[in-house]
Amino acid sequence: MSDEQVYEPKVVAFLCKWCSSAGSDLAGVSRIQYPANATPIQVMCTGGVSPMYVLSALRKGADGVLVSGCHPGDCHYIEGNYLARRKLHLVKELLEFVGIEPNRFRMSWVSAAEGGKFAQVVRDFVEDLRPLGPQDKVKADRS
């Protein structure tokens, strides 16, 4: 057995109740396996995800933040995911501005019928985060 620990990125996943959280439930019902790196936090709508949530997660030591909602046009709350898309795009730019790899933040559209896609989104994101290594640019010193 190797002593070397594989780096496991820590991901906070904000999932909207109606599509992505339900899609994540479907992945469970279908027993589709994916890495345990992402811990879900259910929100009502991605439109309710404040950019502060993303920054707060990074500040608290997250290596990546995923926001996943209904497909464009399918939002349960009419247009919440459009609001999210516009707003969170700016978060990416802000991250770049403050010197954090913008790829640490990702948005995806996963419907309630897409259990397989949800698992793939998590798998891909975790794999894409590995080469970036631990995020410590804005992580608060907690020692």
Partner 1 sequence: MTNKRTGVFVCHCGTNIAATVDVKKVAETMALEGTVAYSADYVYMCSDPGQNAVIQAIKDNQLDSVIVSCCSPNLHEGTFRNNAIRAGINEFTCEIANIREQCSWVHKDRAAATEKAIKIVRSAARRVVRNQSLDSIAIPVTRRALVIGGGIAGIQAALDMANAGLDVVLVEKLATIGGHMLQLSETFPTLDCAQCVLSPKMVEVSRHPKVKLMTYSEVQEVSGSMGNFKVKILKKPTYIDTEACKICDDCSVVCPVVVPNEYDLGLTSRRAIYIPFAQAIPASYVLDENACLGLHPIRCGKCKDVCEVGAINYDMLPQVVTEEFGAIIVATGFDLYPQEKILEYGAGNVPDVLDGLQFERLCSASGATQGHVLRPSDKKEPKEVVFIQCVGSRDPAQHCAYCSKICCMYTAKHAQLYKHHVPDGRAYIFYIDIRSGGKGYEEFVQRTMENDGAVYLRGRVSKLHRTKDGKVRVMGTDTLTGQNVEIDADMVVLALAMQPSKGTEEIAKILKIGRDKDGFLAEAHPKLRPVESVTGGIFLAGAAQGPKDIPETVAQASAAAAKAIILLSQPMLSRSPTIARVRNSHCTGCEMCVDACPYVAIRLENGKAVVNEVLCEGCGACSATCVRAAIEVKNLSLAQVNDMIEAVMTV
CA angle 105, 108, 109 (to 5 degrees): 160
d(CA 143, CA 125): 28
Alpha-helical runs (H) found in 1-140:
20-29, 51-59, 80-98, 115-129
Q: Is 52 in the site for partner 1 (CB under 8 A)?
A: yes
Q: Which of 100, 114, 126, 129 binds partner 1 (CB under 8 A)?
A: 114
Instruction: Print the binding letters for residues 68-107 with partner 1: x by CB under 8 A, - otherwise.
Output: -----xxxxxxxx--xx--x--------------------
| Total residues found in the chain within this entry | 143
Applying CB under 8 A, what is the total number of residues that bind partner 1?
A: 53
Binding part of the chain for partner 1, among 45-53, 89-97, 98-106, 125-133 by CB under 8 A, reads 45-53
* Min separation Cβ 81 and partner 1, Å: 10
d(CA 132, CA 122): 16
Q: Is 33 in the site for partner 1 (CB under 8 A)?
A: yes
d(CA 116, CA 129): 20
Q: Which of 2, 3, 31, 93 binds partner 1 (CB under 8 A)?
A: 31
